[in-house]
Amino acid sequence: MVKRNLRNQATARGVSADRLIFAPLIPLAEHCARLNLADLFLDTLPYNAGATAGDTLLAGLPILTRIGDTFVGRMAASLLNAVGLPELITTTLEAYEQMAIDLATRPEKLVAVKRKLAENRLTTPLFDTKRFTKHIEAAYTAMYERHQAGLAPDHIVIPN
Classify residue 12: in a domain, yes or no: no
Q: What is the pLDDT of residues 90-119, one digit of tens each?
A: 999 999 999 999 999 999 999 999 999 999
pTM beyond 0.85: the answer is: no
- Residue 133: count other Cβ atoms within 10 Å of its Cβ: 10
> 17-33: per-residue pLDDT in tens?
998 888 899 998 898 88
Give a yes or no: residue 120 inside a domain. yes
**Separation CA 4–CA 28 (nearest Å):** 26
Domain with residue 115: its CATH number is 3.40.50.2000
Task: Please tell me whether residues 57 and 77 are part of one structural domain.
Answer: yes
What H or E segment, with its residue span, contains residue 138? helix 129-148
How many structural domains compose the chain? 2
Rounded CA separation 124/101 (Å): 28
- Tell me: do 70 and 138 sit in the same domain: no
Percentage of residues in the chain with pLDDT exceeding 90? Answer: 70
Range of the domain at 146: 128-160
Q: What is the C-alpha to C-alpha distance for residues 145 and 153, in angstroms, rounded to an integer?
A: 11
Q: Is 58 in contact with 118 (CB distance < 8 Å)?
A: no
Confidence bin at 127 (pLDDT 50/70/90): confident
d(CA 4, CA 2): 5
Q: 120 and 42, same structural domain?
A: yes
